[in-house]
């Protein structure tokens, strides 16, 4: 039963990441995003995974951790790309003025 509740918790957290990824792709800006927050989320997922392996409790829940980790990592890559696009756009605005 504990695995089921942990899976539900991870799914609830994980549901938001596809929306974040979509927003990052469409907006092409990092404004309003927190890279530090996303990195902390990845660290949290890594510690959760480490706990599973240390406790020798590797079940289907690990797959949900990995899926969430992949989605957050994807959004981090997009956030970094968008930060670069923001810097380039700012340089362009500066040159035009």
Taking the C-alpha atoms of residue 59 and residue 36, their distance in angstroms, rounded to an integer, is: 29
The pLDDT tens digits for 39-95 are 999 999 999 999 999 999 999 999 999 999 999 999 999 999 999 999 999 998 888
pLDDT of residue 89: 94
Taking the C-alpha atoms of residue 16 and residue 13, their distance in angstroms, rounded to an integer, is: 6
Q: Is the pLDDT of residue 2 over 90?
A: no
Q: pTM to 2 decimals?
A: 0.89
List the domain boundaries for the chain. 36-97
């Amino acid at each position: 039963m504990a695995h089921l509740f942990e899976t539900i918790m991870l799914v609830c957290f994980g549901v938001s990441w596809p929306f974040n990824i979509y927003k990052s792709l469409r907006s092409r800006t990092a404004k309003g995003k927190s890279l530090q927050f996303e990195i902390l989320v990845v660290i949290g997922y890594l510690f959760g995974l480490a706990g599973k392996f240390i406790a020798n409790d590797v079940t289907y829940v690990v797959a949900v951790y990995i899926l969430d980790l992949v989605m957050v990592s994807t959004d981090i890559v997009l956030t970094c790309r968008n930060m670069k696009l923001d810097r380039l756009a700012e340089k362009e605005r500066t040159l035009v003025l």
